[in-house]
């Protein structure tokens, strides 16, 4: 398992997140895509995973409503997968959300992205629904985790 360093970064690192995103996901997005999505959001969280001081992954989230935090995006470079980096990012986001008194952490994932679905389920998330994503013409699996006992573990 990789021992990545998870670092909380600010909005000045959106270009780095954009570059990571474009190495991981398709279609590519520009910096403005992230700025628009995060504009006006409360309690934005931007995490970057580094291995040997090189960025290898990221996680982004924000408050969905006062009691629920939304894990919007999580990605790891293909060359660094299956080393536990995504688990470390998700754990860091979960802990941060619990420390900030959120009662739930919600995520959405395309059904085809099985590794992240497995990770979420292994991390204590429950499938709470499905919704249609008109942008990708596919279903999204809705996942949620109760955070009430996180800080006790």
| pTM recorded for the entire structure | 0.94
The band of 153, judged by pLDDT with boundaries at 50, 70 and 90, is: low
Residue-level pLDDT at 1: 67
Tell me the domain boundaries of the chain.
Answer: 5-152
| CB 112 within 8 Å of CB 138 | yes
Average pLDDT over residues 39-44: 96
| CB 140 within 8 Å of CB 109 | yes
Average pLDDT over residues 47-52: 97
Residue-level pLDDT at 118: 95
CATH of domain 5-152: 3.40.630.30
Average pLDDT over residues 52-76: 97
φ/ψ of 120, rounded to 5, equals: -60, -45
């Amino acid at each position: 398992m990789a021992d990545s360093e998870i670092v909380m970064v600010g909005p000045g690192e959106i270009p780095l997140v954009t570059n990571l995103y474009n190495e991981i996901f398709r279609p590519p997005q520009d910096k403005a895509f992230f700025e628009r999505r995060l504009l006006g959001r409360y309690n934005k969280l931007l995490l970057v995973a580094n291995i040997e001081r090189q960025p290898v992954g990221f996680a982004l989230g924000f408050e969905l409503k006062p009691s629920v935090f939304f894990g919007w995006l999580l990605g790891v470079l293909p060359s660094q997968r299956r080393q536990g980096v995504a688990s470390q990012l998700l754990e860091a986001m979960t802990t941060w959300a619990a420390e900030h008194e959120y009662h739930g952490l919600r995520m959405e994932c395309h059904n085809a992205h099985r590794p992240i679905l497995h990770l979420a389920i292994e991390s204590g998330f429950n499938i709470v629904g499905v919704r249609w994503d008109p942008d990708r013409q596919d279903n999204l699996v809705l996942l949620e985790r109760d955070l009430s006992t996180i800080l006790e573990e």
